[in-house]
């Protein structure tokens, strides 16, 4: 009888350990497939708590800062047909269309140029400052 009790006790311990492992695996899986973030739409309660895009820097970033951090990847190399900064010949026809057209293309996107150059934390004014910086440096 003593052997049967020991066997039942060992089975109970093994079952408990198996349940703990299964729970641990389930928790690991849940953690791996959990969403990376959540969507917060304008007007939602969570949107009111969102910090301003440039609040961490203490104000709007300069055109030079935005260019260096976001625009130079294409506009320093000419990637995807982007006019290189300093290339007056490439910028001339674009500037001739007017600064407002350049602003619109930079903010909304145009051809291979993605909206805001993919700088979704940049304000429209920061994008405009970057455009001004590139135009000024390409005369």
DSSP for 61-77, please give it: PPHHHHIIIIIHHHHTT
Q: What is the tens place of the pLDDT at every residue in 107-138? A: 999 999 999 999 999 999 999 999 999 999 99
The one-character DSSP state at 51 is P
Give me the torsion for CA of 90, 92, 98, 102, rounded to 10°: 20
Residue 39 structure tokens? 């969507």
Return d(Cα 63, Cα 103) in angstroms, integer. 13
Q: Are 87 and 15 in contact (CB under 8 A)?
A: no
Q: 3-class DSSP state for residue 110?
A: strand
pTM of this structure: 0.59
């Amino acid at each position: 009888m003593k052997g049967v009790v020991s066997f039942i006790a060992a089975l109970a311990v093994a079952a408990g350990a198996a349940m703990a492992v299964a729970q641990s695996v389930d928790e690991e899986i849940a953690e791996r497939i959990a969403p990376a973030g959540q969507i917060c739409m304008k007007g939602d309660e969570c949107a009111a708590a969102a910090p301003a895009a440039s609040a961490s820097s203490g104000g709007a970033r300069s055109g030079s800062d935005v260019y260096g951090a976001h625009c130079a990847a294409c506009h320093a190399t000419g990637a995807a047909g982007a006019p290189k900064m300093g290339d007056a010949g490439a910028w001339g026809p674009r500037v001739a269309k007017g600064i407002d057209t350049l602003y619109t293309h930079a903010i909304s996107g145009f051809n291979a140029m993605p909206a805001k150059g993919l700088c979704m934390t940049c304000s429209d004014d920061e994008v405009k400052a970057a455009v001004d910086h590139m135009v000024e440096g390409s005369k």
